[in-house]
C-alpha cells in the first residue's frame, strides 16, 4: 500500500473533521516530529506507526486508517499525548478512530479483530449484569476467536489463588444499565 501513489481525494478529507468532532483534537497541527511513535510501547507490533496514522488522517485516507491494526492496538497509555509538542492528544485521536471503525461495523483483521472481539465480549457481560464478569468475558472471547483454551494456564493459576468467581455479580438496578445501552443505541440509529 505504501509503495503505491497516494491519491488525495477532496471528498475524503472529511476524515480530519470527523476526528475533530469525535475527539476535539485538531490533527492538522501535527508536523511529523515522530515523538508519538518514539514513545509508543506498542509501535513494534503496529502495521502503521502513530505518526503515520496522523499524516494519513490529514490526507483523508479513511479506508487505510480504519482498517489498520494500529487503531485498536493502541492501549490508550497516552504517552504520545503528554509528549506531543503540538499538544495533540494522539491517544484520543486513536480512540476516535476506533469508535469510527465500530460505527462502520469494521470488524478488523488479525490482532485488531481480536481486540474488537474482546471489547465486545466485555461489554456484553456488562450489559447482562451491570458489572463486567472476568471469566465470562474471557470465555466469550475464546469462543468467538476460535481458541477455546487460550490463556487456560493463567485461568488455572488464578483459580488456585481463589481469584476466579463464576457467579456473576449482578447490579440490583441492572435495568438502569441496560437502559443506558438501549438509549444510546436508539440515539445512534436515529442519527
Return the DSSP state at 88: -
Site string for another protein, 99-138 (x = CB under 8 A): x--x--------x--xx-xxxx-xx--x---xxxxxx-xx
Q: 3-class SS at 44?
A: helix
Integer angstrom CA distances of residue 69 from 30, 74, 94: 21, 9, 11
Q: Count the residues of the shown chain that bind another protein, applying the rule CB under 8 A.
A: 65
For another protein, give the closer residue by CB, 8 or 34: 34
3-state helix, strand, coil in the chain (%, to 5): 65, 0, 35
Q: Which stretch binds another protein (CB under 8 A): 8-16, 49-57, 58-66, 152-160?
A: 152-160
**CB-wise, 13 or 120, nearer to another protein?**
120
> 45, 111 in Cβ contact below 8 A?
yes
Q: Residue 144, exposed/middle/buried by CB under 10 A (0-12, 13-18, 19+)? A: middle
On whether the CB atoms of residues 43 and 73 are closer than 8 A, the answer is no
Q: What are phi and psi of 26, to 5 degrees?
A: -95, 100
Shortest spacing between CB 119 and another protein, in angstroms = 4
Query: Interface with another protein includes 173 (CB under 8 A)?
Result: yes
Minimum gap (Å) between residue 141 Cβ and another protein? 6
Query: Would you state the cell numbers that stand for residue 36, as one nine-digit string?
Result: 508519538
Describe the crossing of helices 174-190 and 110-129 by its angle, rounded to 10 degrees.
130
Question: Does 37 participate in binding another protein (rule CB under 8 A)?
Answer: no
Site for another protein in 52-71 (CB under 8 A): none
152 binds another protein, rule: CB under 8 A:
no
With CB under 8 A as the contact rule, which of the stretches 5-13, 28-36, 56-64, 96-104 interacts with another protein?
96-104
Tell me if 56 sits within 8 A of 64, measured CB to CB: yes
Which stretches of the chain bind another protein, using CB under 8 A?
Answer: 22, 41-42, 44-45, 72-73, 75-79, 81-82, 89, 91-92, 95-96, 98-99, 102, 111, 114-115, 117-120, 122-123, 126, 130-135, 137-138, 141, 145, 151, 154, 157-158, 161-165, 169, 171-174, 176-177, 179-181, 183-184, 187-188
Amino acid at each position: 500500500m505504501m509503495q503505491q501513489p497516494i491519491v488525495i481525494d477532496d471528498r475524503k478529507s472529511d476524515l480530519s473533521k470527523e476526528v475533530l468532532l469525535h475527539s476535539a483534537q485538531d490533527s492538522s497541527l501535527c508536523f511529523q516530529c515522530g515523538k508519538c511513535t518514539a514513545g509508543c510501547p506498542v509501535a513494534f507490533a503496529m502495521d502503521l506507526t502513530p505518526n503515520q496514522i496522523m499524516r494519513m488522517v490529514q490526507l483523508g485516507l479513511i479506508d487505510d486508517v480504519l482498517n489498520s491494526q494500529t487503531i485498536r492496538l493502541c492501549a490508550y497509555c497516552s504517552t504520545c499525548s503528554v509528549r506531543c509538542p503540538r499538544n495533540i492528544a494522539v491517544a484520543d485521536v486513536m480512540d476516535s478512530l476506533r469508535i469510527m471503525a465500530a460505527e462502520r461495523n469494521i470488524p478488523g483483521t488479525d490482532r485488531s479483530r481480536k481486540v474488537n472481539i474482546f471489547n465486545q465480549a466485555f461489554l456484553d457481560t456488562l450489559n447482562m449484569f451491570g458489572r463486567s464478569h472476568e471469566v465470562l468475558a474471557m470465555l466469550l472471547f475464546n469462543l468467538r476467536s476460535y481458541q477455546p483454551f487460550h490463556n487456560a494456564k493463567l485461568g488455572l493459576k488464578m483459580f488456585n489463588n481463589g481469584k476466579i468467581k463464576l457467579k456473576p455479580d449482578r447490579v440490583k438496578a441492572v435495568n438502569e444499565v441496560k437502559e443506558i445501552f438501549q438509549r444510546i443505541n436508539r440515539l445512534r440509529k436515529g442519527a
